[in-house]
Chain A
Amino acid sequence: MALDLVVEHYVLLSGLIFLIGAVGFVTRRNVLVQLMSIELMLNSVNLALVAFNRQHGGAMNGQMFAFFVIAVAAAEVAVGLAIVLQFYRLRATVNSDEADGLRH
């Protein structure tokens, strides 16, 4: 049986990666791992965008959106890692539970 690839396969893979990223973001307490999980989620969204764009061939707006998502993700990583560095200087740990300076 020849397996014909349809857009659903790509969306499923995208959903699986997004799920892994979301679970990682919620369950891990290491800020670095949490940032990487965010990257996973952004990547999976890009995959879904490009897959849908391929299905509705002709226009390439989906790819344009994925391009902008990549740009925003790069900006987010730059600022996020700077904040992680500063947080580490302040608390000497990367445990996100320690970031409770605004509590009370």
Chain B
Amino acid sequence: MSVGAIFFAVCSVICVVGALSVVLARNPIRGAVGLLATIVGIAGLFLRLDAQFLAAIQLIVYAGAVVVLFVFVVMLLGPSAGFTSKAEARSKVSRIFAGGLMALLGALMLVLLAPKNPQKFGAAAEGHGSIEAVGGLIFTEGLPVFELVTALLIVAVIGAIAVARTQPGQRKPARVENPTLRLFHGPLLPRDAERPLSKAPAAQADPGGGMIPPTSLGKEQA
């Protein structure tokens, strides 16, 4: 195997292990580190693909900003950031979805890895992927998009500040003050079965008192 193939193999293993640890880790800090590994691996692959400028941008923006932002938020939220629900481990839908996607990828692999005449990468042009070349392209052909992206970034920064600084009102969304609304508060989902509907109506619950009990309503619909 050539040096390039070994480099590709190492980078792809780093990427896949990092991606798996993002999805599987219970502690989101480990997930963030896995994301970092994936990003570094992809930056290495960018280098191999003659995209030096993008590799640098990838490391600066993703590893330098995005992952740090994630770690900040995880630290800010404290232990409750490591939430894992018991339902997600035994959800049948997610298994079916994952299996279906795996099958799809397997089919894709069969199609992709059996090309009749695989087209090797030709020699890269002089300065392919350099800052001068990509920057020149961005400021000529991509200038309208570039301007739009600057506007998007400004809006995103202002929006993030506005969203994060606004204090949420102390009131929780009032759910069942209205007795008419209570009719529609049956446990539509099984996970809501034990959840208290609200404080006030639960205290004065009278099953025979003219109000349809929410459990029977749920059964009728099912």
Contact = CB atoms under 8 A, between A and B. Distances in A.
Contacts of B153: 71, 74-75
Nearest to B72: A81
B190 interface: no
Interface of B: 1-2, 4-5, 8, 12, 15-16, 19-20, 22-23, 25, 28, 31-32, 35, 38-39, 42, 45-46, 49-51, 53-54, 57-58, 61-62, 65-66, 69-70, 73-74, 76-77, 80-85, 87-88, 91, 94, 97-98, 101-102, 104-105, 108-109, 112-113, 115, 118-125, 128-129, 133-134, 137-138, 141-142, 145-146, 149, 152-153, 155-157, 159-161, 163-164, 166-168, 172-173, 181, 184-185, 191
A83 B142 CA distance: 31
Interface of A: 2-13, 15-17, 19-24, 26-30, 32-33, 35-37, 39-40, 43-44, 46-47, 50-51, 53-55, 57-58, 60-61, 63-64, 66-68, 70-79, 81-86, 88-90, 92-95, 97, 101, 104
B54 A66 contact: yes
Contacts of B5: 2-5
A10 to B, nearest CB: 7
B94 A5 contact: no
A82 B112 contact: no
A64 B138 contact: yes
Contacts of B164: 82, 85-86
Contact of A63 (B23, B54, B122): B54
A23 B103 CA distance: 13
B138 A33 contact: no
A76 to B, nearest CB: 8
A19 B101 contact: yes
Contact of B97 (A27, A33, A66): A27
B163 A51 contact: no
Contacts of A2: 1-2, 5
A5 B4 contact: yes
Contacts of B51: 50, 53-54, 63, 66
Contact of B134 (A3, A30, A67): A67
B61 to A, nearest CB: 5
Contact of B28 (A7, A30, A61, A97): A30
A20 B31 CA distance: 13
Q: Which 3 A-B pairs have the closest CB atoms?
A: A24-B23, A75-B156, A27-B94
A13 B66 contact: no
A75 to B, nearest CB: 3
A94 B134 contact: no
Contact of B152 (A7, A54, A72): A72
A92 B46 CA distance: 40
A3 to B, nearest CB: 4
